[in-house]
Structure 1
Amino acid sequence: MTSEKVFIVDATGVIYRSYFGIKGMTNLKGQSTNGIFGFIRSFKRLLQDFSPSHIVAIFDPIDGKSKRVEVYQEYKAHRESPEDIHYQIEWAKQFCEFYGIPLLCVPGYEADDTIACVAKYMESLKKEVFICTQDKDLAQLINEHTKILQPHKNNLIIDRSNVESLYGVKAEQLVDFLAMVGDSADNVPGVKGFGPKTAAALLKEFDSLDGIYENISSIKAVKKQETLLSEKESAYLSKGLVQFYYDVVIPEKEDFYQLNDPEPEKLRNFYQSLNFKSLAQELPKKQLADADASLEEKKYYLVNDEVRFEELKKVLKKAKEICFDTETTGLHPLTAEMVGIGFCIKPEEAFYLPLNGDLKKDHIIEFLREIFSDSSKSFFGHNIKYDCHILANTNLPFPKVNFDTILASYLLNAESRRHSLDALSMDNFSKEKIDIKDLIGTGKKQISMKEVLLEDVSRYCCEDCDYTFRLKNIFEDQLIEAGLLPLLIDLEIPLSKLLFDMERQGVFVKKELLLELSVEFKAQIKELGEEIFSLAGEEFKISSPKQLSHILFEKLEIPAPKKNKTGFSTDASVMEVLKYQYPIAEKVLIYRKYEKLLSTYVDALPLEICAETQRVHSTFNQSVAATGRLSSQKPNLQNIPIRTKEGRRIREAFCPQRENWSFLSADYSQIELRILAHMSEDPELIKAFAEEKDIHAYTASLIFNVPLEEVSYEQRYQAKAVNFGIIYGQQAFGLSKELGIGIKEAGLFIDRYFERYASVKKFIDNTKELAQEKQEVYTLSKRRRKIPDILSKNKMIKQAAQRLAVNTPIQGTAADIIKFAMIKVQKALVNKDLKGFMVLQIHDELLFEAPDDELDILKQIVKEQMESAYKLRVPLTVNIKVGKNWREC
């Protein structure tokens, strides 16, 4: 039956395209996974779009040998495969096995030959054949039965009707076309100097390669005649290379090509080994089907009557260490209401106490207040800062916290993003937890946890508590073994309480000022838009890269500096190049600046203001940035612009809420360079900081060999770029772009820098070597970051890993120092009983809100505590500013 479809997949081709198209994917062992990930995604998209009953994945032979080499020794002679693609091909074969996909790999024959033979066999069975590939050579197989399907172009189908529009020739002419054009990647020589247009024109006139040579005297261009005659042997050699061998022995049983049932558990383990969380989540959830049965093994109790309540009271009053988890009406820590709370004091036993059940809520709250106020008890949880916010929302005290499994996971694997309880349960216990979506749904049909059956919420919450308890037992031992427990207990846990306080305090933002800026910026955007339309000669959507590209590079015929996959690029780097010659490019940059400020800050921040407090309450994350830095979200208050005039006006909206109060900003001066001086023990750097020199001018005087007092502004600027570039592993190319100088000149700057700061060069080299040996690096406080990519065979990935290896100890130490400083400052503020408080941390800067009459003592405390937070070989220096708004600081 012609309606039956068969899909033949060029598996090797799909893997290679994914390998080069997807950057920087590795599993926890540091092995590259970009090729196999793209391969699996392509297969799943194919299965989803077409639901095939018959399919086959065809691979090149393992040894890569081809009969074509016997004909032409140079065939694919210079085409070396990356080392880290071979094991991904083997993984792809495993995936096919687990997914039930038939595969073929015939020794001595390339995948293309096997594909051609399978296609012809299927045509003989009157099947409709789809060859899934991006290889143009396989297009010669297109006929009334066979089509090409391109996975990389959203499964675009090419048939006889559109071959000519794509290649300029008919399907049956493609062999001769490919023979003439050649293929540099495979070392198919072709006809020298003949491109696609020339080849297509000749084939259109003479029909075939034979026809061209039979009528060569009819070709008017003498040079073409001469080339064809001199290249005749090459042309026919090339034809032999691009034609397929049809003697491949393949299974000639239709059943062989039938798609079989997948094996979900094998796939699950396979995905987990490759760290493919999203793919694992797409598999059927076996555990959920057996959830009720699993409760027989575990003791999960719903506490919804007086008898159970009394039992729970006895259990918790005896316990010294308690794991707890809250269930709430939402995710925002300051607005979510508690629906219930779960407790666990030993594995496989947990209790859920609902606030919306049959027990009186005030009795429950009274008991909870008693438990959480007991200083003899310690509490832990997963992301416990959030749960403590929920306690505070219920007017319950902040408990004595001694552990947090999300912070423990982060300290053990800072480079990982798999710190959620679901991910950790899967990774450590192969446990697929109940999905919250199965309880409350999604989208418009989503309900509140208050509306879910108590029994279902109980099972969900008890499971959370149980697996958090188990994780704590595992992580605690691992932290001790790695020497990381002090970092959790002495730094991250105390910091969590301080961040809790900062989040509840929030920061005041003048809504009226932002509304004024909104009106002004919108007027600027409108005016700029009209100027751009005038220069373009028509109206268009300025924010559309496609439309802007058409205006600039087609209508206005501006030379395009850069091309991307979809056409000519209009990104910021391109506009920066063009702005000096073309006013429209400069206007577009300014237009984009105002649009960004408007959408990200001016119009967005008023929506984040809490109606009750009139303040913005951001969330500070301790388990996101791999270097140890804090991050801020909902909203992000660490990226409020400062470098532009318009950005500083946005900062003006941040101010104290009360009269006669001010902001105080305390900022570490060049902390990363000071840490570099300490770690490298470089005598010149240490001397400069010890003598309180201007470090950039000092570096300039060394590099340019001029007296310090004679260093020019430009020399200092260049030295500053080198100083900071070194920390981030910047090479000559990057420095040349930043300074607008030649690569050779930038390289000389770096060479001179290392001549003067020889110990810095030694430190960088030693750090890279250590990272290569250990696949991890450390901060001064022993925080570690694994760098698995340093073993990558991919040069770009390895170089990026080397830059991380150098930067992480420096930036991570800076992050730790300011964390220690925050804790010290907070302790001093409490001891002095000051009204002022910390509102923000912006990496190396702390922002305080305080009464004016406390500013003098606050300056003293902050400076003393921050500068003594960590002992280095060079002094830590803090700059303090005071103002009535953030801009003035």
Structure 2
Amino acid sequence: MDRLFILDAVNYLFRSYYGIGPMTNDKGQSTSALFGFIRSAQKLIRDFSADHLVCVFDGPDNKKSRQAVYADYKMHRKGAPEDLFPQFEWAYEFCEKRGISTLCVEGVEADDAMASVAVWAEKKGTKVYLCSSDKDLMQLVSPQIFMLHLHKDNLLIDEGKVKELYGVRPDQMLDFLAIMGDASDNIPGLEGFGPKTAATLLQEFDTLDNLLANPEKVKGEKKQEVLKTQKGQALMSRELATLDMNVPIPHDEDFYRIKQFDKSKLIDFFHRMNFNSLLKELSQEAPAASNHKKKTAQIDKHDYRLIDEEDGLDHLLMRLSKEKEVGLDTETTDIHPFLAKLVGVGFSFQPGEAWYIPLNGKIGEEKVLKALRHFFSHAKCSFFGHNIKYDLHILGNEGIELRQICFDTLLASYLINPQVRRHNLDDLVLEAFKKVKIPIESLIGKGKNEISMRDVPIDKVKDYCCEDVDYTTRLKLHFEEDLQEKKLDHLLRDIELPLLPILAKMERTGIYLDKELLESQGRRINQEIQVLKEAIFQEVGAEFNLNSPKQLGEVLFVKKGLSPPGRSKTEFSTSADVLEVLAEESPFVQLILDYRGLEKLRSTYIEALPLSIHPKTGRIHCTFNQSGAATGRLSCQDPNLQNIPVRTKEGMAIRSCFKPKGEGFSFIGADYSQIELRLLAHFSEDPALLHAFQTGGDIHQHTASIVFNVPLSEVTSEMRSRAKTVNFGIIYGQGPFGLSRQLHIPMREASEFIKTYFERYPKVLGFLESCKESAKKTGVSKTLTGRLRPIPEIANQNPSIRAGAERLAFNTPLQGTAADLIKMAMIEIDREIEKRNLKGKMILQIHDELIFEVPDEEISLFKVLVKDKMEHVLKLSVPIEVHIAVGKNWAEC
């Protein structure tokens, strides 16, 4: 046994629980601690080629021996969170399935067991690696024993590193801890003696015993007094920190050896925990058990063919034209569709069979393109793909129109699992078929060594492309069943697929940005930033880096003496939430917030937007994502135009730089009015809320009248403002704390406000509760159109996670239905534009708003058309209203 790795299981489970963002499996059970623990164990096996590894846990009643010495030992620690307990059991289960030994000794803490194993192995000449961040274990470091911090880039701590970190030798660590104490274990140490003092004293006196024997030689009367009066406490602290190296442990080397394991069982375990990234890593390891081998072999059967002769090309296209549905995939030179060049096209229509047609092969680019144009223009079949909108663009670049789209596996995956952020083909194939696809990096490389797909040998591109389109075909069959079972197929058929080419048209059209005007706005904003910086520096009396959280924290909480509402272990928090609280008391902090807002506009829009202008079209072509939000909302990227502020003069100044290109054109903006509140009235069937919308009055004024119990004529602007805040706050599950912050009122008053609101609108409260109960019962939230959003966190034992899930359960029917509503309207509007052969075009979707670029002679027609389709695409129990605005720039809409 040359090397032995000893993993502090308790340490890594706790670190992962608090250090990794909340993770849950599909049953809503917390898994973040388990995930981090497994990551650590797998890292040792993968990165360090560990073949001897033991995971050590605390034993039952493990604190008894030390609490007999000091009753308060670790007594300050709260019990483990309720949702962490099951993860300890799963950690044991993982170890068993992975062939890793575990050690847990009754009445013994994990670090004592680790120490005993380490010392035993050291005596046998084994190099020992203690994988933990517990500094108690530093006392064991020797020429044969090392500490390994996996969470700090595999930091290896040897004797020299201990000295560098703490200023003492490993054999002095016990005395070091005895002097300074250890807050994490509630070891008292000597009062007023910190780590620097402890290190300095040990450098001078070498040992605690020498120090306690010569207190008069220590500088400072106070320190001398502590050494004299707290001698017993120091000795007790050393005893508490001393590790027991005589714990009964296995002395058989084979116990610590990593055993053979059944990969299929581990795969099932990872599936149960929804650890897709671990599944992917596992599939790249050695072959699994025999049953899994058979399954993989069956999946891997394929016939991938290169079409590089004219006769073969004609024969394939003729064969494809007779199929009802055909899968396709394009290979290109760039991920951005408007910069990419077509390299080749892959086709498939049944699992295991695929063809690749290169443009840079023997046939020649022009002949291939001519054949493809003829095929696509005459084909009666419909096409499917994975993220087929990209392929639609690529083919469009070559003058090829993709008319009939019957399926998209990315959109299908999104509808089935909208809460999952990634729906890339590699991950889906791995999850569905346990198949690791050919990585793109193996073809083109990455970073500075990346090459163009055109330069990759055609045979390699053939295998890659055929595999993509083959597994897209397999996924289509896989997802069709799921969609039908969950009654989601109509959403794909009636909303997402019809919307896809519309979004493609919007992306291709783009929007014109007046670069010169933006630069002018940028100069003005830069001046405002400079004025703010000067005001801030003058207030502080010195210049500092405003973008440094550390320096800003020192200015606010040290120099200015403000009371921090939150602080991390290492530095003051200067997050927006913290600053907004402080700004209520300090005008100086408001200057900081104003500076941050302008600086974000400058970096995100003023500087970045011109870089997005396409060199050939002179317009910005952003990408609209149908799978970007769990509610069904569209998202926007490269650049994200949905986040340009609309309620600030600076944000409106940036919007004013977006214009119709050319004379005789205008923008039309069409915005749903209070759509989520109208949907709340429809869902809840609350009589008062229904009446407010059905009579066409001001909903916020109406709410103020009801909540404050005054006639409509006596509602003040302040009352209306508060009612508006509550109306929209209710939609997003805002509680008393959030409302009190937003209205700058005491929490008790905010609580009363919410209570009164629900008393006046009782069926709204009933709807809220029914959404929660339904989600708890079914695990999902549902929109009016039947879109599902799984909310597994609704069953989480952590109250804060569960509360967040309850808010989602209530908000999803509103926001999700609003998202479906505008998608349906976009489809109807586009159909009408095509039917009438109008010149105007839909160019942007910003949440509940649509922007059109139209010739001036079509303005009147478009206003009527758009308003009619948006207001009548879905019938509710209250009227839907759309506000229409016309302007010569986006800000005017």
Q: Same fold (TM over 0.5)?
A: yes
Counterpart contact for 1:206–1:212, Cα < 8 Å: no
Matched ranges for 1:103-122 at <5 A = 103-122=102-121
Instruction: Identify unmatched segments of 5+ residues in structure 2.
Output: none
Pair 287,625 (structure 1): closer, same or farther in 2 beyond 3 Å: farther
One-letter code of the match for 2:424?
A: S
Pair 169,888 (structure 1): closer, same or farther in 2 beyond 3 Å: farther
One-letter code of the match for 1:324?
A: L
Deviation at 1:710, TM superposition (A): 1.6
Matched, 1:252 2:251: yes
One-letter code of the match for 2:133?
A: Q
Matched, 1:382 2:407: no
Pair 535,80 (structure 1): closer, same or farther in 2 beyond 3 Å: closer
Instruction: Supply the distance in 1 between the matched residues of 2:526 and 2:416 (Cα, whole angstroms).
Output: 47
Instruction: Identify unmatched segments of 5+ residues in structure 1.
Output: none
Matched, 1:692 2:703: no
Instruction: Supply the distance in 2 between the matched residues of 1:680 and 1:213 (Cα, whole angstroms).
Output: 78
Residue equivalent to 2:6: 8
Deviation at 1:680, TM superposition (A): 1.0
Instruction: Supply the distance in 2 between the matched residues of 1:725 and 1:791 (Cα, whole angstroms).
Output: 24
What per-residue deviation string (whole Å, max 9, x for no partner) do you get for residues 252-302 of structure 1? 345654667998777666555544444444557479999x99999322111
Residue equivalent to 1:669: 673
TM-score by length of 2: 0.88
Matched ranges for 1:732-747 at <5 A = 732-747=736-751
Instruction: Supply the distance in 1 between the matched residues of 2:182 and 2:355 (Cα, whole angstroms).
Output: 72
Instruction: Supply the distance in 2 between the matched residues of 1:535 and 1:450 (Cα, whole angstroms).
Output: 59
Residue equivalent to 1:501: 505
Instruction: Supply the distance in 1 between the matched residues of 2:463 and 2:145 (Cα, whole angstroms).
Output: 54
Among candidates 880, 883, 887, match of residue 887 of structure 2: 883
What per-residue deviation string (whole Å, max 9, x for no partner) do you get for residues 383-416 of structure 1? 1111111111110123211111111111111111
Pair 108,293 (structure 1): closer, same or farther in 2 beyond 3 Å: closer
Residue equivalent to 2:727: 723
Instruction: Supply the distance in 2 between the matched residues of 1:197 and 1:358 (Cα, whole angstroms).
Output: 76
Residue equivalent to 1:371: 375
**442-451 vs 114-123, greater mean Cα deviation:** 114-123
Q: Secondary structure at the match of 2:891?
A: coil
**164-173 vs 383-392, greater mean Cα deviation:** 164-173
Pair 700,879 (structure 1): closer, same or farther in 2 beyond 3 Å: same
Counterpart contact for 1:163–1:170, Cα < 8 Å: no
Matched, 1:59 2:63: no
Matched, 1:131 2:130: yes
Instruction: Supply the distance in 1 between the matched residues of 2:430 and 2:811 (Cα, whole angstroms).
Output: 32
Among candidates 146, 171, 174, match of residue 173 of structure 2: 171
Among candidates 346, 349, 353, match of residue 350 of structure 2: 346
Residue equivalent to 1:161: 163
Among candidates 822, 827, 830, match of residue 826 of structure 1: 830
Deviation at 1:642, TM superposition (A): 1.6
What per-residue deviation string (whole Å, max 9, x for no partner) do you get for residues 690-714 of structure 1? 1122112221222222222222222
Matched ranges for 1:222-241 at <5 A = none
Among candidates 19, 22, 43, match of residue 20 of structure 2: 22
Deviation at 1:736, TM superposition (A): 1.5
What per-residue deviation string (whole Å, max 9, x for no partner) do you get for residues 578-611 of structure 1? 5577665444333322321121111111111112
What per-residue deviation string (whole Å, max 9, x for no partner) do you get for residues 150-193 of structure 1? 54555554856368669999523367558xx686x87x6969x9
Deviation at 1:745, TM superposition (A): 1.6
Q: Secondary structure at the match of 1:432?
A: coil
Residue equivalent to 2:418: 414
Matched, 1:481 2:491: no
Deviation at 1:15, TM superposition (A): 0.6
Pair 52,301 (structure 1): closer, same or farther in 2 beyond 3 Å: closer
Counterpart contact for 1:68–1:75, Cα < 8 Å: no
Counterpart contact for 1:514–1:603, Cα < 8 Å: no
Among candidates 855, 858, 866, match of residue 854 of structure 1: 858
Deviation at 1:826, TM superposition (A): 1.5
What is the RMSD computed on CA atoms of the aligned residues?
Answer: 4.0
**576-585 vs 371-380, greater mean Cα deviation:** 576-585
Pair 129,384 (structure 1): closer, same or farther in 2 beyond 3 Å: closer
Among candidates 599, 606, 609, match of residue 603 of structure 2: 599
Q: Secondary structure at the match of 1:638?
A: helix
Pair 288,331 (structure 1): closer, same or farther in 2 beyond 3 Å: farther
One-letter code of the match for 2:8?
A: D
One-letter code of the match for 2:398?
A: T
**305-314 vs 625-634, greater mean Cα deviation:** 305-314
**64-73 vs 804-813, greater mean Cα deviation:** 64-73
Matched, 1:753 2:751: no
Among candidates 570, 584, 594, match of residue 566 of structure 1: 570
Deviation at 1:148, TM superposition (A): 5.0
Counterpart contact for 1:139–1:174, Cα < 8 Å: no
Instruction: Supply the distance in 2 between the matched residues of 1:674 and 1:196 (Cα, whole angstroms).
Output: 64
Among candidates 811, 818, 836, match of residue 815 of structure 2: 811
One-letter code of the match for 2:13?
A: I
Matched, 1:708 2:707: no
One-letter code of the match for 1:120?
A: V
What per-residue deviation string (whole Å, max 9, x for no partner) do you get for residues 333-364 of structure 1? 22322111111121111111112111143443
Pair 92,128 (structure 1): closer, same or farther in 2 beyond 3 Å: same
Q: Secondary structure at the match of 2:659?
A: coil
One-letter code of the match for 2:354?
A: A
Length, aligned pairs only: 877
Deviation at 1:652, TM superposition (A): 0.6
Pair 653,211 (structure 1): closer, same or farther in 2 beyond 3 Å: closer
Instruction: Supply the distance in 1 between the matched residues of 2:280 and 2:221 (Cα, whole angstroms).
Output: 64
**46-55 vs 645-654, greater mean Cα deviation:** 46-55
Instruction: Supply the distance in 2 between the matched residues of 1:312 and 1:395 (Cα, whole angstroms).
Output: 21
Instruction: Supply the distance in 2 between the matched residues of 1:863 and 1:632 (Cα, whole angstroms).
Output: 24
Among candidates 608, 615, 620, match of residue 612 of structure 2: 608
Give % identity: 47
Instruction: Supply the distance in 2 between the matched residues of 1:201 and 1:24 (Cα, whole angstroms).
Output: 38
Deviation at 1:811, TM superposition (A): 0.4
Instruction: Supply the distance in 2 between the matched residues of 1:111 and 1:744 (Cα, whole angstroms).
Output: 47
What per-residue deviation string (whole Å, max 9, x for no partner) do you get for residues 55-91 of structure 1? 5321123x56665499599977884333432342344
Q: Secondary structure at the match of 2:595?
A: helix
Deviation at 1:105, TM superposition (A): 2.1
Residue equivalent to 1:400: 404
Pair 383,221 (structure 1): closer, same or farther in 2 beyond 3 Å: closer
What per-residue deviation string (whole Å, max 9, x for no partner) do you get for residues 843-883 of structure 1? 10001111112111111111111110111111111111111
**459-468 vs 261-270, greater mean Cα deviation:** 261-270
Instruction: Supply the distance in 2 between the matched residues of 1:727 and 1:295 (Cα, whole angstroms).
Output: 47
Instruction: Supply the distance in 1 between the matched residues of 2:356 and 2:478 (Cα, whole angstroms).
Output: 24
